[in-house]
Amino acid sequence: MAAYVPKTTLDSQSVGAEIKRLAEHVNVEVVKIANVAAVATANGSDAGTTQTLANALKTKVNELITAINATGKAANIAAVATANGSDPATTQALANALKTKVNEILTALKAAGVMTAD
């Protein structure tokens, strides 16, 4: 296929044809990630509800990782393996692990060109 050379002048009659001609020369890949439902757990308002939220976020992040890995478009991302929160110390550890994992997901998507860089 010959290289695309844009027309220098267009009238209202030729714009659509020029767009079609350009589209023939553009290779765009759409990456679809399986739907992952929103987090429905209530916000944390005390130690118990924050623990419940952290545990629910772990589950949701792992669902998202599974969906991303299924595309094969980004580097494989390991699931969050940190234990569920059961007291303030383990809940804190889980929250810190989730922050790290979310940043890893963002980095992988950006490196794969699926997400725009900062």
Q: Answer with the residue of higher pLDDT: 63 or 74.
A: 63
Mean pLDDT of 24-36: 75
Mean pLDDT of 69-91: 94
Model confidence pLDDT, tens digit, residues 43-63: 999 999 999 999 999 999 999
What is the pTM for the complete model shown? 0.73
Write the burial class of residue 51 (CB in 10 Å: 0-12 exposed, 13-18 middle, 19+ buried): buried
Mean pLDDT of 35-40: 90
Contacts for 51 with CB less than 8 Å, ≥ 6 apart: 44, 85, 86, 87, 91
